[in-house]
Amino acid sequence: MDLIISRNPRNGSVIREIPKTPPANLARIFERASSAQQLWAKVPIKKRAQKLLHLRDALCRRVDELSEVIHQENGKPVIEAHICELLPSIDLLTYFSSIGPKALRDRKITIRNPFMRYRRSYLSYWPLGTVAVISPWNYPFFLAFGDIAVAVLAGNSVVFKPSEYTSLVGQKIQELFDEAGFPRDLVQTVYGEGDVGSAIIDQKPAKVFFTGSVRTGKAIMKQASQNLTPVTLELGGKDAMIVLPDADLDFATSAALWGGYTNSGQVCASVERLIVHESIAKAFAEELKSKIALLTPDVELGVVTMDKQKQVYEDHLKEARESGAEFICGGILSGDRTRMLPTLVAGANIESLKIYNEETFGPVIAMTTFKTVAEAIEKANRNAYGLLASVITKNVSLGEEIARELHVGSVMINEVLFSAGLPETPWGGIKDSGIGRKHSEIGIYEFVNVRHVNRPRFSFIRFKSWWWFPYTELQRDFFRAWIKLYEGSMLERLSNVPHFLWCLVTFLKKDRRI
């Protein structure tokens, strides 16, 4: 039997061995998921929302156990598991259980044209079916759990594959849904590497929700396109923090410290680029360096979860050294190679280097300077990614002006990174950072089909529409007169009304539809 080995990234010790799901079993797994989904979709949305609160209760009962599992398998400090994984998950369940029934009820569409008001339209929503959730290792609980919870709220079933590096966390997510009393087979967790993920897509799920690297996201999109399977992709980031000259240095450096080094920088929304006004850059770097020295391993700093990510660090750092970059601090792995020392790097040519342009996905920040606000905006936007940006300033109005010019999915003014933890706000990016949005009322619509229904305003109204066959001269004159109601100034449009009414009456009296 093939096994997925769950290891502690601190010391490589085996935590648990989990049987790999044979790809040949997926067809049957999807069949069971489809059967469960068809029954679940008939459950009223209010009852499905109530079930999320049962899930919340199950999660709250096991917070300490779950935080320890995340700590052991992912390597982040226990407190970060509480702050950045479990509390946001609890908040998400609370929010969506509240807004779900309202967001997914039929929504009226106002017909603006007065000559079409004899009909009315509305939107109705129904589940996609069986969806696939393929999640990453850096936030192995929250990123997967949120997608699965919203998917089932919307009436879907889920086939879930956690990262092979955090399969035990995935197993705990499955246990929570089982404990909360969700129907059997509604949520099914499968285990494996990329071949299992590829086999999932071959089963033609109704949609694929993937969080991970740009390379894998593009491969998933390419494979999914063969069956026109829609995808939501949350991919990478190389997020910039702009520090304006009026910024409070203590506040700004503390923001950069947490934004760049929480979860050891293994965050798609972490601060990887600092764009600091030249008048404060030296003082900013010195103060940030002094605060970096205060971070303690296993308290504020976890370990690097994946060995192959260390190769990316070393590649970026090697190029930076060879190019004469200034290492303000850090720049090396710890002696046992379990940690990347928090790194701050700058230099005259920093903007041409991989460490500034490509996602490092570690505790590494590249710093540059700017003279004008326009230059800062240009530098922030000059990147392949577009997930998140931050602006640090005492002038919030100016911060908002800058935010409107930044090509990203979210901008935080005087804050960093945690926008993904706000369930009320949409989360996602542009460019290489992905497709689609999660969270918020906008995000819930990623999990449903949308149906437009148009009907007579009153059941007794029934007549052949004016645009039906046959096409006639009177019909043409009527519609041409209708178009004239949009031409010219308000006075000109009003002057066309009598002619329109004459054409309407003539058309209705003398013309008949077949």
Query: Per-residue pLDDT tens for 39-52?
Result: 999 999 999 999 99
pLDDT value for 402: 98
Sorting pLDDT into bands at 50, 70 and 90, what band is 89? very high
> Among residues of the chain, what percentage have pLDDT more than 70?
100
348: number of Cβ within 10 Å: 11
- In this predicted model, what pLDDT tens digit does every residue of 232-258 receive, in sequence order? 999 999 999 999 999 999 999 999 999
Active site residues: 234, 268
pLDDT value for 461: 85
pLDDT value for 277: 98
pLDDT value for 114: 86
Q: Is residue 198 helix, strand or coil?
A: helix
CA distance 168 to 430: 32
94: number of Cβ within 10 Å: 14
CA distance 406 to 387: 10
In this prediction the pTM is 0.96
Arithmetic mean of pLDDT, 195-221? 97
pLDDT value for 67: 98
Q: What angle do CA 63, 67, 72 make, to 5 degrees?
A: 150
User: Does residue 143 carry a pLDDT above 80?
Assistant: yes
Amino acid at 211: T
Q: Where are the domains of the chain?
A: 44-235+441-451, 239-423, 465-510
CA distance 59 to 46: 20
pLDDT value for 64: 97
- Total residues belonging to the chain: 514
Closest CA to 238 of 388, 131, 127: 388
Arithmetic mean of pLDDT, 224-238? 97
CA–CA distances in Å: residue 484 to residues 397, 462, 475, 499, 507: 44, 27, 14, 9, 16
pLDDT value for 196: 97
Closest CA to 383 of 318, 331, 432, 326: 432
DSSP 8-class letter at 82: I
Look over the chain and give the mean of its residue pLDDT values, rounded to a whole number: 97
Q: Considering only the C-alpha atoms of the chain, give the largest distance between any 2 of them, rounded to a whole number of Å.
A: 93
pLDDT value for 298: 85
pLDDT value for 195: 96
Amino acid at 407: H
Edge-to-edge order in the sheet of strand 410-413: 326-329, 343-346, 364-370, 271-277, 239-243, 388-392, 410-413
pLDDT value for 115: 84
Sorting pLDDT into bands at 50, 70 and 90, what band is 259? very high
CATH superfamily of 44-235+441-451: Aldehyde Dehydrogenase; Chain A, domain 1 (3.40.605.10)
User: Does residue 285 carry a pLDDT above 90?
Assistant: yes
Arithmetic mean of pLDDT, 462-490? 95
Which residues does 258 contact at the CB level (< 8 Å), separation at least 6? 416, 417
pLDDT value for 193: 96
Closest CA to 324 of 347, 353, 354, 356: 347
Arithmetic mean of pLDDT, 107-120? 92
Amino acid at 293: A
* Per CATH, domain 239-423 is 3.40.309.10: yes
Arithmetic mean of pLDDT, 211-230? 97
Sorting pLDDT into bands at 50, 70 and 90, what band is 337? very high
Q: What is the CA radius of gyration of the chain?
A: 28
Tokens of 132: 């696939």
User: Does residue 377 carry a pLDDT above 80?
Assistant: yes
